[in-house]
Amino acid sequence: MFALVGLGNPEEKHNQNRHNVGFMVIDKIVEMYNLGPFKNKFQSKIITKKITDIPIVIFKPQTFMNLSGKSVQHVLNFYKLNTENIIVFHDDLDLKLGVIKTKIGGSDGGHNGLKNIDSHIGNNYRRIRIGIGHPGDKNIVNNYVLENFNKEENIIISNLISIISKNIEFVIKNKDISKTLSEINQIN
C-alpha cells in the first residue's frame, strides 16, 4: 500500500493558494480516478481505494500545513506503512513556477509542513516538489504562499497537476521517478 499525501491548509479561503498545490494534486487524482468521497479520519480527509491494481490511501491533513506530521504519523501507524511508501506533494518556493522535482529524504528546505512531518516520522519519504516560484523578497514569503495563483500561473499549475495525475500510477510504482518527472517537465 502507498500513501499519497497532499499538503495544504483546510479552510475554503485557502483552496487556490500557492501553499495548497499539494491539496490540488490530491483533488485532481480523486476526480480523475473517481475515488471519492473523502471521509474524515486521522485529522485528515482520507480515501482508501485502488488505482488500477495498487492499494492506496490518499489524504489531505486538516491540521493546517505546519502541523501535518501528526496526521501523517496516524496514517503511517494505522496502515503499518514504511516511510518509503509515503509520497508527499507540496509547494516549493525554490523551484520556478511549474518545475517539479523529486526527492527522498534530506533537508526540509525551510518548508514548515515538511519540518513537522520529519519531526513525527523522520525524513525517509518521497517528495514531489512543485515549483511555485519565489517572490524575490524573503520578507513577503508568508503572504506570497497564502495568495492565490494569478490567471497565467493557474494555467501552468493546472496543466502540471493534470499531467502528474495522469501519470500517478507510474509515479507510485517507481522508486526513482525523476526521469518521469523530467519528461513531464519537458512536456510542460
CATH code for the domain in which residue 141 is found: 3.40.50.1470
Specify the residue for cell string 475554503.
12
115: domain range?
Answer: 2-187
Domain count across the chain: 1
Other C-beta atoms lying within 10 Å of the C-beta of residue 20: 27
| Residue 184 reports pLDDT greater than 50 | yes
Q: How far apart are CA 175 and CA 117, in angstroms?
A: 20
Look up 111 and say whether it is catalytic.
Answer: no
Report the alpha-carbon distance of residue 91 to residue 111 in Å, rounded.
9
Q: Which three cell numbers stand for residue 54?
A: 495498487
C-beta of residue 38 within 8 angstroms of C-beta of residue 30:
yes
| Marked catalytic residue, from 14, 19, 74, 111 | 19
* pLDDT of 47 over the 90 cut: yes
Going by pLDDT thresholds of 50, 70 and 90, the confidence category of residue 109 is confident
Q: Which of 99-108, 122-131, 148-157 has the lowest mean pLDDT?
A: 99-108
The mean of the pLDDT values for the chain is 90
Residue 170 pLDDT: 81
What is the pLDDT, as a whole number, of residue 175? 45
Mean pLDDT of 44-57: 94
Interatomic CA distance for residues 46 and 37, integer angstroms = 9
pTM: 0.91
